[in-house]
Amino acid sequence: MRYHFNIRDGAAVIPDEEGSDFATLKAARAEARASVRDLAIEDIRNGRPVQAWQIDISNREGTVLDSISLQFFEN
């Protein structure tokens, strides 16, 4: 199935118009989790504050099936 990862940075949305094929929603979730981590790592590497990244996983009709977000935990 084709899933679309629409990326949110807390202020703007970057739509995924092409999408990617995954066998299951579980596989798409795993990829979205890795992508959110990669976005945060890029912020850190570039000396920027880490954004409140979120990826909305949707089907081709635009229905959001799940949302994966970066979570911060304080000690």
Among 21, 24, 30, 17, residue whose Cα is nearest residue 3 = 21
DSSP state of 10: S
How many other C-beta atoms can be found within 10 angstroms of the C-beta atom of residue 42?
A: 13
- Answer yes or no: is 75 within a domain: no
- Answer yes or no: is 32 within a domain: yes
Task: Give the domain range for residue 52.
Answer: 2-69
Q: What is the spatial distance between Cα 19 and Cα 2, in angstroms, rounded to a whole number?
A: 6
How many other C-beta atoms can be found within 10 angstroms of the C-beta atom of residue 68?
A: 21
- Answer yes or no: is 40 within a domain: yes
- Answer yes or no: is 47 within a domain: yes
pTM of the model: 0.86
- Answer yes or no: is 31 within a domain: yes
Q: Model confidence over 27-70: pLDDT tens digits?
A: 999 999 999 999 999 999 999 888 889 999 999 999 999 999 98
Paired strand residues for 67? 56
Domain count, the chain: 1
Among 1-5, 19-23, 69-73, the least confident range: 69-73
- Answer yes or no: is 42 within a domain: yes
Q: Model confidence over 4-18: pLDDT tens digits?
A: 999 998 789 999 999
